[in-house]
Chains A and B, each alone.
Chain A
Amino acid sequence: MRIVDRPVDVLRSFLRGYLLARVPGVWMLRVGFGIVLSIILMAILAPIISPYDPARRVDEPYLPPSWKHPMGTNRIGQDVYSRIVWGSRIILYVVFLATALSMSIGIPLGLISGYYGGRIDRVLSMVMDSMYAFPALILAIAIAAVLGPSPSNTAIAIAFVYIPTYFRMIRGQTLAIKNSLYVEAAHALGAPDKTVMAKYILPNLSHTILVVFTLSVADSILTEAGLSYLGLSVTVPTPDWGYDLRAGQPFLLDGMWWMVFFPGLMVMLLAMGFALIGEALSERVSLAQTR
């Protein structure tokens, strides 16, 4: 058995040993993957699969779904389906940028805090715990409001509020394994702290990181949609699910459901895709740990 897994190995074993394996609960993973991959594909193929320019008036406003406009048109006369397709780009961009940012700050800080302990750990933990206890959406609202509406700014706001999630998880796991035999063996061989952290501790956290990653992406998707619903993410006429939902809200109770229904459905599907993957993985990881 290898003691240290490389991330590549984790991914490979995960794909081979799980996605294709016949184990209970694998359907969750497959459905989740299916949803996420289709939406990513949708974003990539947006120019090909969208029939209209998402930012232009292309027909009469308020048209219900039809063959010509499968999801109807909105109050300006834009094609809702085309906006949904292009909108996937914004939310994916924001969420992945945000996740990359919070991981690249939260994970090293968590490693350092858990590994060295002492005063630096106490200070960092206290700051992170305070942030963690605070409503993420409200903090993100404040930051986004100051930065002004743009997808990159939204990503920064979201990144900020998910740093503690990664920090806490990495710190806890580092504490748990830093005294294990193979880490001590690495010390005994004279490996410097940086090497121990990067080569011996971090790779062993990859399963946990994968779980936290999927679950926090699911969460960030809802946060992004929330921020843009409140008008804090994009400016008109950029297509964006959360914003489009808000724009369609005033017409809902006149019976025009399509402007609200489709964007919101997409938000939920995307979040659900990641949540399903995360749920299936966490079950798998906790099973592996109890064995």
Chain B
Amino acid sequence: MARGLGYYIFVRALMIIPTILILYTIVFILLRLLPGDPILAVVGTRNIPPEQLENLRHMAGLDKPPYIQYFDYLWRLLHGDFGVTLAIPMGTPVKNYIFSRFPATLELTIFGFTISVILGLLTGTVAAVKRGSAVDTGMRLYSIIAYTLFIPWFGLLLQYFFGLVLGVLPTSGRLDPDISLKTITGLYVLDSILTGNIDALISSLAHLVLPSLTLGIVLSGAYTRLVRNNLVDILSMDFIRSYRARGIRDWKITIYALKNAFIPVITLMGLQFAILLGGAILTETTFSWPGMGTFIVDRIDYRDYNSIQGMIIFFAFFVSLISLVVDVIYALLDPRVKY
């Protein structure tokens, strides 16, 4: 409490650095020390002139000893340089792909995240309030089923039903091909609002429905469980009983209980967001969503490990940032956290 929120955020932000360093080191060690020559992996078994191989090695920064590579790459990362692609198209900065692909992934994850939190809160609250009833059992089952849905399968079932049988929703891409949209942020929904483009807004929202529902429903299972268990605990706590004994109205007590139950849920959100990003890769592939996930999968086919490494470092940074935001929200909501 003494030094204020600004200081807390600053200190917490500093803690991102070791996290990223550790992940960078792990990824670096894994990618360099595991068996297999990445360059040969790119070019395959074809016969390639040695000088061209050398050239490739140089481009990937692989012509130096590992420890120099380690600091070299780190140094370049600090300048926002994520290296260049090793496969077709060769030599393009990975950064460019991040800039063009990240907004698509962000848009998908924001919608998916929102849906999962809302669904999780609703189902979890209903289950806790109706604890021990058939509704409660139903919600627990929902949580398990949602959690164990295999994303591509669930996404494809939705495509089959809403895209083919009902024919009401698009099953791939982000926008109808005949609609043009001036991109500002790369988040199509936001861009169409900013440019006042109604057609693009409707189209981009329609394209978002199935992918974000897929992601949202699958991820909501964990929230259902956590919200239910927390709320059950909270509802049996003394202060809730005290509220009742004071004649406070039931709906108000439910709100106070939810607020208390929400605190641990916030902690889960950071971790959930990481899982969400993993799920986003599968969702993007299932719905041909042009985001980071489809890019990574693309690069895997080319065995372009420079791009994979860059993407993973970027993900590490993004995940750390999210956990920072989550921590700050937590500190703001819970007066017991000292900062």
Contacts and interface: CB of A to CB of B under 8 A. Distances in A.
Interface of A: 126-127, 129-139, 141-143, 145-148, 218, 222, 225-226, 229-232, 242, 245-246, 249, 252-253, 255, 257, 260-261, 263-265, 267-268, 271-272, 275-276, 279
B316 interface: yes
B156 A252 contact: yes
B306 to A, nearest CB: 12
A131 B30 contact: no
A146 B144 contact: no
A268 B300 contact: no
Interface of B is mostly: helix
Contacts of B286: 249
Given A130-B18, A245-B153, A268-B148, 7 more contacts: A126-B18, A126-B22, A134-B23, A134-B319, A225-B150, A226-B150, A252-B164
A267 B159 contact: no
B145 A272 contact: yes
Given A130-B23, A222-B148, A145 B300 contact: yes
Contacts of B156: 245, 249, 252, 260, 264
Nearest first, the 6 closest Cβ-Cβ pairs linking A and B are: A264-B153, A137-B278, A135-B278, A271-B148, A130-B22, A267-B150
Contact of B278 (A130, A136, A276): A136
B150 A135 contact: no
Interface stretch (B31-39, B57-65, B118-126, B188-196): B31-39
Contacts of A134: 23, 274, 315-316, 319
21 contacts: A127-B22, A133-B19, A133-B271, A134-B316, A142-B309, A142-B312, A143-B30, A146-B30, A146-B38, A147-B34, A148-B41, A222-B150, A230-B282, A231-B300, A232-B300, A245-B152, A253-B163, A260-B153, A267-B153, A268-B149, A272-B148
A230 B149 contact: no
A143 B296 CA distance: 13
B85 to A, nearest CB: 15
B297 interface: yes
Contacts of A229: 152, 282, 285
Given A232-B300, A253-B160, A142 B279 contact: no
A133 B319 contact: yes
Nearest to B273: A135
B210 to A, nearest CB: 12
A231 B114 CA distance: 30
A222 B153 CA distance: 11
A226 B281 CA distance: 9
Interface in B264-294: 270-271, 274-275, 277-279, 281-282, 285-286
A230 B271 contact: no
B95 interface: no
Nearest to B38: A146
B320 interface: yes
Contacts of A132: 271
Contact of A145 (B140, B163, B171, B303): B303
A279 B315 CA distance: 31
Nearest to A229: B152
Contacts of A130: 18-19, 22-23, 26
B34 A230 contact: no
B171 A253 contact: yes
